[in-house]
Amino acid sequence: MKAAWMLVGAAVSACCARPAVVQEPVTATATVPPGRSVVPAEPPAPREPAAEPVDPGPQTLPMPAAVAMPWDAAGVDWTKPPAAWPEAAFAPPRPVTFTLADGVKVYLVENHRLPMVSVRVLHAAAGTREDGDQAGLAALTADLLDEATRTRTALELPEELERLGTRLRIGAGVDGAVLTIDTLTETLEPALTIAADMIIRPRLAPEDFERIKAERLADLALRPDQPRAIAAVVFEQLVFGAHPYASPGSGWRETVATLTLDDVTRFWSTHYAPRATSIIVAGDVTRAQLEPILARTWGAWKATAKPAPAGARPAVAAPVLAVVDRPGAPQTVVTIGRLGPDAGDPRRADLDVINTAVGGSFAARLNARLREELGYTYGIFSTVWRGQRAGAWSVSSSIRTDVTGAAIREILAILKSTSAAPLPADELARTRSLIVRGLPQDFETNSAIAAAYASVIADRRPLTTYRDLPRQVARVTGPTARAAAASLWKDFHIVVVGDWSAIAKDLESLGLPIVRFSPDGKRL
C-alpha cells in the first residue's frame, strides 16, 4: 500500500486575491468579430499606395553609464570569508517515558508549535537479521502488513488514510521494522487505531500476498540495472561474511520466489509482539491525552516474540578486489571499506569526527580533492554504519571510467595520510563545530525528532545521547581522532561495478585478489 496524503485546503485571504474584472453589459443583435465596431461606418476615402518601408539598418541602443562599485569603501576584507557566529546554546528535548499494560514502551516528546504529530513504532525483533535462510522474508512481511486489515480491504485502507490526512508506511531494516505515522493532532487516535490494526490484526489475504510478492520480484529483476545497489550488496557480503547482516534486506530473486503466505504469517506471529515494540511520539499531544489513546489502541496486544539467536559477531576478512562487469559503462561505481564497530562503539565521537573531516561533508578532504580539484566525480562521501551486532565503514562514489584507477589511488592516499597524522587544529575545530552546529537540524520537525529517538532506541543507547554529544565531540583531539582512523582505515575491500575491459589493467596493479560477482550481486 503506497502512502496516502489528503490535501488540506486553505482559504486565500482577500488582500492577496486577484481583483475580478468587471465588465459593462454589451447589447448586440449580431455576433461581432473581434476588433470590429458594432456601429456602422462611412466607406473610407481612397488613399495613395503606401511607400516601401526604408530599412534603418542596425540600431544601437545607448548603454547606461557605468556605475562605480566602491567595494573597498565598505570596510570589509573581501578576500576572507566572514567569521561564524558564536554557537547558540541548544538543549535537545528529552522524552517522557511510560509503559502500557501489555509491555509496549512509549517515549513522548511534546511539541505544540503546530497541530501535528509524528509517530515511530519500532519492532525490534522484526528486522531483516531475523530472516535466517529466507532472505527477504522480513521485508515482504512488512510490505504486506500495511496492505489491509481485518476490517479494511486494500482499497478501503488508503481511502481511509486519505480522509484522515495521514501518511503511514512500514519498512524492515537490519535490526528492526519501523512503522511511520504523520498525522494531524485531531486525527491521531483514528490513525493509531488503523496502525494497531495493521500490526495486531492484519488481513494477510492470499490475493494481496501474490500481488506484493510479484511486485517484489519485479523490483529484484531490476537490481542488475542499479550499479549502486549492486555495489552495496557485494560490499555487505565481503564485510559481514556468514553473518545475517550479509544478506540483502530485499532478498534474492530465488529466495523470495520460494516464500509462501504461511512463511509470512509465521514470521508476523513470532516477531511482532508488545514487549519487543517501542512507540516514539513527537508533537502536539500531552501524556494525559496520549496515554489513554494508546491504552485503547495498542494496550491489549497479546503476542510473544521469538527472535532468532544473535549469532557470533563477524570477523575481519582478508581484503579483496570485487568486480562486477558492466561493459560500456561510462562510470565506475566504487566502494572502499571494511568491518567497523557496532552501535556500542566506545570511540563513537572520535570516529565520527575523523570521518566527517575525511568524507562526511561536502567540504571534506575526499570531495575537495576528487571533485573540486581533479574533476573525477560529481561527489564522494564516507559513512559509518553501526548495527547492534557489527558495523561497517565505507567510502563510495561514481567515477569516470577512464580515471577509475587514479581515483582509487587518490582515495587510498588520502585515507593513509589522514590516519598517519593528527588533524590540524583549524580543521579539527571546523569539523567539531560542523557536527555540533548541525545537531539542531535533527530536531527541526516532529518527524525528525521521532526519527532521532527511534534511532537511539534501536541502537540501545541512552536517551541522553544528543544532550551528551557536544561535550563528547569537544573532547576529541587530533591524536585521538587519528588513533580511531588508524585502527580502522586499513585492509580495505574494494568493490568496482563498471567496464572491466577498460579498467582491468590499472586495477590489477593494486595487488589484491580479484573476486568476480554476477550482475545481480552473486559471487561467481
Helices (H), 272-364: 287-297, 348-358
pLDDT, position 60: 62
Residue 91: is it exposed, middle or buried by C-beta count within 10 angstroms (0-12/13-18/19+)? exposed
Q: Give percent of the chain with pLDDT exceeding 70.
A: 87
Does 53 have pLDDT greater than 70? no
- Give the model's confidence band at 469: pLDDT under 50 very low, under 70 low, under 90 confident, else very high: very high
Which among 408, 131, 178, 414 has a CA at the least distance from the CA of 280?
Answer: 178
Q: At a CB cut-off of 8 Å and minimum separation 6, what does 413 contact?
A: none
Report residue 143 CA to chain centroid gap: 18
Q: At a CB cut-off of 8 Å and minimum separation 6, what does 238 contact?
A: 317, 320, 322, 493, 495, 515
Mean pLDDT value of segment 321-331: 97
Q: What is the DSSP letter of 385?
A: E
How many residues comprise the chain? 524
Does 411 have pLDDT greater than 60? yes
Mean pLDDT for all residues in the chain: 88
Does 90 have pLDDT greater than 80? yes
Collapse the DSSP code of 184 into the 3-class scheme (helix H, G, I; strand E, B; otherwise coil) and give the result: strand
- Give the model's confidence band at 406: pLDDT under 50 very low, under 70 low, under 90 confident, else very high: very high
Does 14 have pLDDT greater than 50? no
Write down the residue that cell numbers 488503523 correspond to: 194
Mean pLDDT value of segment 8-33: 36
Collapse the DSSP code of 80 into the 3-class scheme (helix H, G, I; strand E, B; otherwise coil) and give the result: coil
Q: Pseudo-torsion of CA 220, 224, 227, 231, nearest 10°?
A: 70
pLDDT, position 271: 96
491 Rama sector, left if φ>0, alpha if ψ -120 to 50, beta otherwise: left
pLDDT, position 76: 78
Task: Write out the E strands in 346-390.
Answer: 377-386
State pLDDT tens for residues 247-269: 999 999 999 999 999 999 999 99
Collapse the DSSP code of 149 into the 3-class scheme (helix H, G, I; strand E, B; otherwise coil) and give the result: strand
Task: For CA atoms 129, 134, 139, 143, give the dihedral sign.
Answer: negative
Give the domains, in start order, of the chain with CATH numbers. Answer: 96-297 (3.30.830.10), 321-517 (3.30.830.10)
Which among 454, 348, 469, 474 has a CA at the least distance from the CA of 92?
Answer: 469
Packing angle, helices 425-438 and 348-358, rounded to 10: 110
Which among 93, 452, 316, 343 has a CA at the least distance from the CA of 352?
Answer: 343
Mean pLDDT value of segment 57-82: 71
Which among 399, 383, 416 has a CA at the least distance from the CA of 482?
Answer: 416
Residue 416: is it exposed, middle or buried by C-beta count within 10 angstroms (0-12/13-18/19+)? middle
Does 23 have pLDDT greater than 50? no
State pLDDT tens for residues 268-293: 999 999 999 999 999 999 999 999 99
Mean pLDDT value of segment 181-208: 97
State pLDDT tens for residues 112-156: 999 999 999 999 999 999 998 899 999 999 999 999 999 999 999
Mean pLDDT value of segment 463-487: 94
Task: Write out the E strands in 455-520.
Answer: 493-498, 514-517
Half-sphere exposure of 429 (CA within 13 A, CB side): 5
Collapse the DSSP code of 179 into the 3-class scheme (helix H, G, I; strand E, B; otherwise coil) and give the result: strand
409, 511 contact by CB (below 8 A): no
The three cell numbers of residue 204 are 494477510
| DSSP code per residue over 247-270 | S-TT--HHHHHT--HHHHHHHHHH
Task: For CA atoms 262, 263, 268, 269, give the dihedral sign.
Answer: positive
* Residue 365 one-letter amino acid: R
Kindly state the helix (H) or strand (E) to which residue 416 belongs, with its residue range: helix 404-420
Write down the residue that cell numbers 574494494 correspond to: 494
pLDDT, position 78: 79
The three cell numbers of residue 98 are 511510560
pLDDT, position 82: 81
pLDDT, position 440: 92
pLDDT, position 132: 85
145, 82 contact by CB (below 8 A): no
* Residue 522 one-letter amino acid: K
pLDDT, position 64: 72
Q: Report the distance separating Cα 445 and Cα 116, nearest Å.
A: 10
Q: Report the distance separating Cα 414 and Cα 358, nearest Å.
A: 8
Q: Report the distance separating Cα 323 and Cα 519, nearest Å.
A: 10
* Residue 63: how many other CB atoms lie within 10 Å: 6
Q: Report the distance separating Cα 211 and Cα 439, nearest Å.
A: 42
- Give the model's confidence band at 55: pLDDT under 50 very low, under 70 low, under 90 confident, else very high: low
Strand partners, 396: 335, 381
Does 28 have pLDDT greater than 70? no
Does 516 have pLDDT greater than 70? yes
pLDDT, position 325: 97
pLDDT, position 17: 38
Output phi, psi for 83, to 5 deg: -70, 145
Output phi, psi for 277, to 5 deg: -120, 140
